[in-house]
Amino acid sequence: MSAALGSTTTPRILLTGVTGQVGWELQRTLAPLGQVIPADRNTLDLTQPDSIRAILREVNPHIIVNPAAYTAVDQAEKEPDRAFAINAEAPAVLAEEALRLGALLVHYSTDYVFDGTKPEPYAEDDTPNPLGVYGKSKLAGEQAVRASDCRHLVFRTSWVYGMRGNNFLLTMLRLAKERESLRIVDDQIGAPTWSRLIAEATALALGQLISDPQRVEAASGVFHLTAAGATSWYGFAQEIFRLAHMQGLCRTPMLEPIPSEQYPVPAARPKNSRLDNKKLFRTFGLMLPAWHEGLAMCVDEAK
């Protein structure tokens, strides 16, 4: 990859999951960096390793960006095989092919690889201990990428939202139209992170490596990529409705803070989802805005 990116060749970038929250944004942010070849689930079936290999060998990309994932946290408890096929086995094949092609693989993971018992924000080298199938499958994907010896960037992010797909922001806006009051968990802490900011940070990091391919080897590794600051789901909901009301997007329901125990779900969630982003700043000089600033930008654009 170094020779290709260091020459006049326009990098070919294979992008998976283009209909998802992050993938949709990546189509725009990656466009200035090279030739983006988008692949949705009809083009690339991540449950079929042979399909993955065939597409990669046809496209012969310099960079593979893989935001595609099985993200239904509770449903994963019922569909562990499918979750592991998409979140663990597919990244393993992508990494194997990236190594064969000499390509750089960009993969996304999650705060759910941790159990949330640490009182401080998690660093990249803290020991993972996922609580559910989703977290376990994402951790297995990370481990496969790292074990492959391909050049890679694994970005762990958290509480991703945007104006498309299934996420907490859109759920709150929908429920505000249906209910007078909402009970929201207040003892899980994390950093809500706008999908667009994830895509923009990804493009900025890749732009640095394309401009200076000799940095790729040293930069390979796991990075935490979340908004600055932290809040609870209840605090997140409060800010959503404050901003949405100002923009005239919805009325504000009554909100009641509750502990996790009063909102039982099939998959346990970590109480502390805060991730330490210092390594990202040291390596790429990148720092995302505070979570409430990103939310304000997202809601403002929704208007």
Q: Indicate the pairing of strand 231-232 with strand 189-190.
A: antiparallel
156: its two tokens? 């762990």
8: its two tokens? 């006049």
CA distance 232 to 258: 11
- Return the DSSP state at 72: -
Q: Is residue 128 classed as helix, strand or coil in its secondary structure?
A: coil
CB atoms within 10 A of CB 43: 12
* C-alpha distance from residue 12 to each of 87, 213, 301 (Å): 24, 15, 30
CA distance 212 to 218: 11
Active site residues: 134
- Return the DSSP state at 73: T
